[in-house]
């Protein structure tokens, strides 16, 4: 039997992804119409407008961080000299090819919010307001339009360029096998250097400054040093779930012959472990604030844990902690396509809710504005991910045949 | 515990041992155990051993730890000796989560170590036969238990044919005992019949 190395997206796959994208665009239009007009006064009008932009912000940032987590996974395993993921490494590579696409959308949305006339979401963009507010005035060096714009653009460009470089390095071997041990060593070392660069950029952005700027600054008075770690945990576990979904899809379509249950098991372990890690950070952030009980800190959790949004809060606790803990704990469930697919979808949805909780309680304090259009916007981004990943998957062979560590992955045991 | 008769085959290569285990099982002989100098992936499946129940035990220990912690702290801080900590309610679960987590881990870890020792019959001074001292060095040892119906000659010939370097018939204690190897000649291999 010959190997099916070259993926071609079936017609149905492309139709579905294009339909999802069209559905997303329609949802954005629908959301715009439903939030504009009919407001009683100017204040309500600003709130409604912010609610529209908040939905775009939540979805674009969430899906950007999720696809970006794929490149983090590749670089982290490269630095650790892990070989086990080589059998399916082209899948996270293809997913990370979505970063520039969603990155452009996300930057456009973020800059539109930042430089727009409505200051409801980022109220530190309102200069008059900042002048009267000593807390925001103190943070002016970090929270200002110029710094926000430059950092945002630079970050997305760096993610895209370094990710592109890692993909190029991997694909450079496809038609030119490495002749001897010395050149293999050199190749791995080159990989290590670029992966290390990516990790440094990643830790300075996703693990610290970017969630502060993009999400935490919505509650500009409040701060938590744990916030970025917790956002990273959220995006990474969802990113692993996305990889699992694509791996299962490709396995069912007859590709990825050398990826077996051992590899799926290890992806499942990542999903399990980082669900627990997410819970640890989520709870630590909550407990310290709950225990200290200082008003300027508890203001963040008041609407989320006790107020209007407490339903989503507890739903998240069930979806993101109890379900992975109990369902993914056993060995067999991590080796079965059905449970892995179900849990991957559940985790992706659960962490989408997590980002919803980060954005909306500050933007819409008087009601939980979740309507079907929000899910429509999310599906639009899913369509983008499917379409671009499908295109990227078909561009290169599905197995990095000449990579020095591929053999290690093929004979991998859990 | 009783002394039983075993036919013991010694192999010097893991690549020979694997197919040998398969052939011996297919021929219908009962493998008492296989002793190897290092862990071999997949050998347990080849021998037909069932999956370990250690995880289940671990889960139960963990749950026990969780319940112990929650119920004890609840009793202590709400009924037995309520203390007002910074105006928090007596029953304030979030503050107890770290302790609950620690006790869960402690119970699961200690319980699993003890269960592991129990399952493997490991304890100070406990001795077990392992048929050939070189199984801790460079020899793979397969011990087959004999019944009344076992034909020794046939089995020895069979083991030789699947690649054993050296086959012997031994009478050995099946269980464990307390004592020392060098003083316990009764249990530790007095009747050894060398075979070709």
What residue ranges define each of the domains in chain B, with the CATH number in brackets? 3-51+124-194 (3.30.70), 54-120 (no CATH)
Q: How high does pLDDT run on average in chain A?
A: 93
Residue A30 has pLDDT above 50, yes or no: yes
In chain A, whose CA is at the least distance from the CA of B59?
A329
Reported ipTM: the value is: 0.81
- Other Cβ atoms less than 10 A from the Cβ of A362: the count is 24
pTM: 0.89
pLDDT value of residue A96: 96
Q: How far is A252 from chain B (nearest CA, A)?
A: 26
pLDDT value of residue B71: 97
In chain A, whose CA is at the least distance from the CA of B52?
A331
**C-alpha distance from residue A290 to each of A182, A231, A278, A362, B86 (Å):** 57, 19, 18, 19, 11
pLDDT band at A204 (very low <50, low <70, confident <90, very high): very high
Instruction: State mean pLDDT over A358-382.
Output: 92
Domain boundaries, chain A: 11-253+370-410
Question: Half-sphere exposure of A207 toward its Cβ, with a 13 Å CA cutoff?
Answer: 10
- CB nearest to A293's CB, from B42, B51, B86: B86
What count of CB pairs under 8 Å joins A to B? 20
Q: How far is A269 from chain B (nearest CA, A)?
A: 15
**DSSP conformation letters of chain B:** --EEEEEEEEES-HHHHHHHHHHHHHTTPPEEEEE-SS--TTHHHHTTPPPPSHHHHHHHHHHHHHHHHHHHHHIIIIIIS---STT--SS-HHHHHHHHHHHHHHHHHHHHHHHHHHHHT--TTEEE--S-GGGGTT-EEEEEE--TT--HHHHHHHHHHTT-SEEEEEEEESSEEES-TTT-TTTSSS-EEE--
Q: How far is B72 from chain A (nearest CA, A)?
A: 21
pLDDT band at B62 (very low <50, low <70, confident <90, very high): very high
Residue A86 has pLDDT above 60, yes or no: yes
Q: How high does pLDDT run on average in chain B?
A: 87
Residue B97 has pLDDT above 90, yes or no: yes
- CB nearest to B41's CB, from A283, A290, A413: A413
| Residues of chain A with a CB closer than 8 angstroms to some CB in chain B | 283, 286-287, 290-291, 293, 329-331, 413
Q: Is B95 on the interface with A (CB under 8 A)?
A: yes
Q: How far is B18 from chain A (nearest CA, A)?
A: 17
Residue B188 has pLDDT above 70, yes or no: no
pLDDT value of residue B171: 84
Q: Is B28 on the interface with A (CB under 8 A)?
A: no
Which of B45, B54, B94 to mutate against chain A (most A CBs within 10 Å)? B94
Q: Is B94 on the interface with A (CB under 8 A)?
A: yes
Residue A313 has pLDDT above 90, yes or no: yes
- Other Cβ atoms less than 10 A from the Cβ of A329: the count is 13
Which of residues B121 and A343 earns the better pLDDT score?
A: A343
- CB nearest to B97's CB, from A287, A330, A331: A287
Q: Is B117 on the interface with A (CB under 8 A)?
A: no
In chain B, whose CA is at the least distance from the CA of A290?
B94
pLDDT value of residue B30: 86
pLDDT band at B196 (very low <50, low <70, confident <90, very high): very low
Are A398 and A79 contacting, i.e. CB atoms less than 8 angstroms apart?
no
- CB nearest to B94's CB, from A290, A329, A413: A290
Residue B181 has pLDDT above 70, yes or no: no
Q: pLDDT tens-digit profile of A343-363?
A: 999 999 999 999 999 999 999
- CB nearest to A283's CB, from B41, B51, B97: B97
Which distant-in-sequence residues (6+ apart) come within 8 Å of A170 by Cβ?
A: A89, A90, A93, A396, A400, A403
pLDDT value of residue B184: 60
pLDDT value of residue B20: 92
Q: How far apart are CA A72 and CA A133, in angstroms?
A: 38
């Amino acid at each position: 039997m010959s190997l099916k190395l070259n993926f071609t997206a079936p017609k149905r796959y492309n139709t579905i992804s294009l339909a999802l994208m069209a559905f997303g665009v329609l949802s954005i239009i629908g959301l715009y119409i439903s939030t504009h007009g009919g407001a009683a006064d100017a204040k309500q009008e600003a709130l409604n407008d912010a609610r529209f932009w908040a939905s775009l912000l939540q979805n674009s940032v969430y899906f950007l961080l999720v696809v970006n987590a794929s490149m983090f996974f590749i670089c982290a395993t490269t630095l650790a000299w892990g070989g086990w993921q080589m059998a399916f490494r082209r899948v996270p590579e293809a997913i990370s090819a979505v970063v520039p696409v969603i990155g452009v959308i996300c930057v456009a949305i973020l800059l539109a919010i930042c430089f727009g006339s409505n200051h409801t979401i980022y109220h530190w963009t309102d200069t008059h307001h900042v002048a009267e507010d000593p807390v925001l005035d103190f943070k002016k060096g970090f929270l200002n339009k110029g710094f926000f714009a430059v950092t945002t653009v630079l970050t997305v460009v760096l993610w895209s360029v370094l990710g592109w470089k890692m993909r190029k390095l991997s694909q450079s071997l496809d038609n030119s096998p490495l002749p001897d041990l010395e050149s293999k060593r050199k190749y791995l070392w080159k990989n290590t250097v670029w992966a290390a660069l990516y990790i440094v950029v990643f830790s300075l952005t996703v693990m610290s400054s970017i969630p502060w700027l993009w999400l935490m600054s919505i509650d500009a008075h409040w701060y938590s040093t744990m916030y970025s770690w917790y956002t990273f945990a959220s995006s990474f576990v969802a990113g692993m779930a996305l990889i699992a979904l694509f791996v299962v899809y490709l396995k069912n379509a007859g590709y990825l012959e050398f990826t077996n249950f051992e590899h799926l098991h290890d992806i499942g372990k990542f999903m399990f472990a980082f669900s627990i890690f997410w819970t640890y950070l989520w709870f630590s952030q909550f407990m310290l604030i709950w225990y200290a009980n200082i008003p300027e800190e508890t203001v963040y959790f008041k609407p989320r844990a006790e107020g209007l949004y407490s339903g989503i809060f507890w739903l998240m606790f069930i979806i993101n902690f109890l379900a992975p803990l109990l369902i993914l704990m056993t060995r067999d469930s991590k080796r079965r396509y059905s449970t892995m697919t179900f849990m991957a979808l559940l985790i992706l949805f659960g962490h989408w809710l997590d980002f919803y909780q980060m954005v909306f309680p500050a933007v819409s304090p008087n009601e939980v504005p979740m309507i079907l259009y929000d899910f429509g916007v999310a599906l639009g981004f899913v369509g983008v991910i499917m379409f671009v990943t499908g295109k990227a998957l078909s561009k290169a062979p599905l197995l990095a045949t000449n990579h020095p560590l591929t053999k290690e992955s093929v004979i991998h045991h859990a | 515990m009783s002394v039983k008769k075993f036919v013991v085959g010694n192999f010097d290569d893991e690549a020979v041992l694997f197919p040998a285990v398969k052939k011996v099982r297919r021929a219908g002989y009962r493998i008492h155990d296989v002793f190897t100098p290092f862990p071999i992936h997949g050998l347990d499946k080849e021998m037909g051993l069932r999956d370990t129940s250690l995880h289940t035990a671990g889960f139960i220990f963990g749950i026990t730890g969780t319940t112990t912690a929650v119920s004890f702290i609840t009793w202590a801080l709400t009924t037995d000796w309520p203390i007002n900590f910074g105006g928090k309610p007596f029953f304030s679960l979030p503050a107890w989560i770290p302790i609950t987590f620690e006790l869960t881990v402690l119970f699961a870890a200690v319980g699993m170590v003890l269960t592991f020792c129990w399952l493997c019959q490991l304890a100070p001074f406990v001795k077990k036969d392992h048929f050939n001292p070189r199984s801790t060095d460079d020899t793979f040892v397969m011990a087959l238990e004999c019944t009344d119906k076992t034909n020794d000659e046939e089995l020895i010939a069979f083991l030789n044919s699947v690649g054993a370097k050296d086959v012997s018939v031994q009478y050995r204690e099946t269980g464990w005992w307390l004592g020392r190897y060098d003083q316990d000649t009764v249990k530790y291999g007095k009747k050894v019949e060398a075979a070709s």
